[in-house]
Structure 1
Amino acid sequence: MDQKTKELNWLKGRKSHLSIENKLLIYKTVIKPTWTYGIELWGCASKSNIAIIQRAQSKILRTIMNAPRYVSNRTLHTDLKTPYVTEVIRENSTKYFSKLENHSNPLLQPLLQPHQNRRLRRIWPTELRN
């Protein structure tokens, strides 16, 4: 994600003459798919890894808006109508599991069952749909 951001900094950076809508479109079409790939399984990811992606998203939105440091991340997300990373993870995992529930292949049904032996305190992907 950092590599894509650096490559496109001349388009979405502070000195770019593009409108905010076009900068946001570049973010949604080029940068966001790099971190949403395989997001349905991120229930197993640690909170620190998700927080790293959230920080990167907030930095990108801040450069798109050319916002000063005292503007909160909540304001940036609401003004640009961009959901937080945890919300995107939850939405995509619920879509994924609803597709699994309606799938015709019976071999996929064990993926929907909760894990029996829980040795670690972690959130499993099946628990994100609750």
Structure 2
Amino acid sequence: MDNKINWKQHLSKKRKQIDLKSKELNWLIGRKSKLSIENKLLIYKAIIKPIWTYGIELWGCASKSNLSIIQRAQSKILRSIADAPWYVSNETHNRDLKIPFISEVIMERSCKHHARLSDHPNPLLPSLLDPTETRRLKRKLPLDLQD
């Protein structure tokens, strides 16, 4: 994490890890692979997706420009998996392959995390979840990203 707490360095490192892993697996999930799309997606979900989803509850409140670093990597991999031409939109890829966008994953994970914290036996946690508490930074929380 950098001194401005904007997660840019962390997300750039994650992008490099994703790129390295996708290059290693290109012979399996690349355009010229003979595997079915279902098997390619299974490899993506089992090996590449955990790289960027680890700790998403924490860095999910990063700015849209920083989150787009990971979104671009995902879109590039999905385009390669489906062997899609350049003119097919990323929204079409995600819908057809049934892969959610990064922002949707952040919402899902942060809602689950919030629910677990509210049910936790530690008596100090409910005060952390109080939405009326004033924030020092104007940055949004992952649960605020619904729009």
| Fold agreement, TM-score > 0.5 | yes
Out of 50, 54, 59, the position equivalent to 1:37 is 54
Q: Does 1:17 align with 2:42?
A: no
Which residue of 101, 116, 119 corresponds with 2:134?
116
Displacement of 1:128 in angstroms is: 4.8
Corresponding position: 1:94 with 2:111: yes
Contact 2:106/2:142 (<8 A) preserved:
no
Question: Among the aligned pairs, what percent are the same residue?
Answer: 65
Superposition RMSD in Å: 1.8
List structure 1 runs of 4+ shifted beyond 6 angstroms.
none
Q: Matched residue of 2:138: which SS? A: coil
**Structure-2 residue corresponding to 1:46:** 63
Unaligned regions of 5+ residues in structure 1, if any?
A: none
CA contact (8 A) 1:24 1:64 kept: yes
In the aligned structure 2, how far is the partner of 1:48 from the partner of 1:22? Answer: 31
The number of aligned residues is 129
Higher helix share: 1
TM-score if structure 2 supplies the norm length?
0.80
2: CA distance, partners of 1:23 / 1:60: 10
8 Å CA contact 1:43–1:128 kept in 2: the answer is no
Q: Is the contact made by 1:94 and 1:129 (CA closer than 8 Å) also made in structure 2?
A: no
Structure 2 residue 44 is the aligned partner of structure 1 residue 27? yes
Higher relative contact order, chain-length normalized (CA < 8 Å, sep 6+) = 1
Separation of aligned partners in 2, 1:126 and 1:10: 38
Q: Distance between the aligned counterparts of 2:77 and 2:53, measured in 1?
A: 15
What does residue 7 of structure 2 align with?
A: none
Q: Distance in 2 between matches of 1:56 and 1:67?
A: 15
